[in-house]
Structure formats: structure tokens, C-alpha cells
Amino acid sequence: MASMRIATKHQNNIACIDFTLDNKIITCGDSGELGLLEKDGEVPKVFKICKTDLTSVRCSKKNDWNLYVSSGTKIFSMDLRKLDNPIATADSNNDEINQIVLNDDESLLGACDDAGHCRIFKTAEFCCYRNIKGHTNICATVGFLDDDILTAGYDFMIKRWNFSRRPKMLFSIDTRQLEPNESQQYVFNPPFIHSLCIGDIVAFGLESSSILLCNKKGKHLPIKGLLKNGHTVGVSSVQIVKENLVSAGNDGKVIQWSLNDIEEEKDNMELSTKNIVLYQGEKLNWMVPGVWDGKSVMATVDQTDKVTIIPLRQF
């Protein structure tokens, strides 16, 4: 299976994307456009659910019909069978939402925003449960880890929070401290955090073009090291699929890295492993793993109205 580009009915570029439980693709774009791709060859659909740009989407992996979409400060609860009209709306964030995520049992939804806040919602009542005022700049990415939540953003900080009662920060990582000798370079490529992904390890995509890997053992996420020499500019999206890490960058590259063959350098934090450039195209907005035509793939969206389907490879 070769990479393929699929046209949609969006009028402008697509900001984000996700797979449904039954392997359909949901796309979100400017001016409130929500798209649906059912399978290759079928006519794509697009629905207008609001007037403002859609910024993030998360499809249920437990229910065939549930999905959530953010736009501005709002989150919409949607039914896949009726995509032209949200079921419910929550409006609690302080500024534009950058990313929404679900916890493992999908009882909670996290939403991080430009004000540096992360709000946690109970999905059953669709109401705000906790508000974490965690960052001094944009909070760009968020992810649930066990009973805690990770937040990261443009203040160079990665933070882990317990929110069972009043939110409590358990630890933090300042990405500026990872490579102190690179401080001059940071004027042009500061290591703020665009994206994170949680698998057997935790990966963070940095604007400095590096990927930070951390172990999951312990509350303090011991730092494993940095993957470098893959991207030339910021890493906009990271995903972990079994023994592989896949990264997408603002340089238009999609790179697959082997997590089985990582070697640590003795004198610095740099890691080395096998990698393959899967694709080179436009600056990428988002990327998500899934199954298309029976194959394990990454679906990406960029500065166009098209979806790119990229098959993963064997090392």
C-alpha cells in the first residue's frame, strides 16, 4: 500500500483529525466545518456545526457513535449519526482550546487552552470537574496518565498533576534545562512543547526539532533522552504505535522511529535509533494512527483540504 491523498469537501485547510471506532475518519477545519470520510472511493461529507474554526476532535474508542469537538472556548458532544447538530455544549475554558483528550474509560475529558489552563470535564454530566491553572503561556497539549494528567506548553514546562481533590502538581520538567549548551539556538528554535503521546513510554514533540522521551515508571517520569537529527524544525505531532514512534514536523516530514533499538549516548542526552522518513509534504497540522483498507496507517492533515494516508513500515 502506497501513501495516498484523499480530497475532502472542506473549503480550507484541515486542522485536526481522528478515527472513529469503526475506522471512519473525522476531519475538522475552518469556519465550523466537520468532515466525514467513510472509506476510499466514497463521496466525502462535510457539515457546518458552528461559525468558528474547529481546533480539536476526539472520537470514542468504546462507543460507535460518540465524539467530541472543540471550537473557540466551547466543546461539542456529537453523535456520528447526526453530525449536523451537537447534542450538548460545554463552555468553560478561558481562551481558545488547543487540544481535547479522553481518559482510558472515557469518563473524563481534558481540554487545554491558550490561557495556560486545563479544564477537566465529566463526560456523563458534560460539566467542568476541575480547573488547573498550570502554565504562564499557551498550554498546547494534554494527556491522561493513570489517575493523573500531563500538561505542557509554550512556557517550556511539562507538568504532572493529581486532580482527585484540589489539583496538585507532582513534578515538572523545564525543557530549557535539557540542553543548556544550546541556549543560543533557542533564540530561533525554543524548546516549547507542541505535542505529547503516552504509550509504553511518554514522548513530547518540541519546537527545537527534538523529541523528548521519558519512562513511565514513577511519578517523576525519568528522562530517557532526546531523539534528534530527524526533523529540521518543530515537531507538531507525536504518536506511539506498538514498538514504533511516529513524528510529524513543520518541515513536512513524517518519520517512523524504532523504539526497540534505542541506544543512549554516554556523554549527552542524545538517543539514537533506526528511523525511516515515511513521507515528505506540506507543513503538518495533525496526525493520528488507525486502520484504513485493512492496513495500519497514519492519517495526516496539512495546509490543504486533503487527508494523507501513510502506511507504517517494517524495520
Residues above pLDDT 70, as percent of the chain: 96
Report whether pLDDT(184) > 70. Answer: no
Q: What is the mean pLDDT of residues 137-159?
A: 97
Report whether pLDDT(101) > 70. Answer: yes
pLDDT at 183: 56
Sequence-distant (≥ 6) Cβ neighbours of residue 243 within 8 angstroms: 258, 259, 260
Domain extents for the chain? 192-315
Looking at domain 192-315, what is its CATH homologous superfamily?
A: YVTN repeat-like/Quinoprotein amine dehydrogenase (2.130.10.10)
Instruction: Pick left, alpha or beta for residue 146 (phi over 0 → left; psi -120 to 50 → alpha; otherwise beta).
Output: left
Q: What is the mean pLDDT of residues 107-131?
A: 96
Report whether pLDDT(188) > 80. Answer: no
Report whether pLDDT(47) > 90. Answer: yes
Residues above pLDDT 90, as percent of the chain: 84
Task: Tell me the Cα Rg of the chain.
Answer: 19
List pLDDT tens digits, range 212-233.
999 998 888 999 999 998 999 9
pTM listed for this prediction? 0.95
Report whether pLDDT(267) > 70. Answer: no
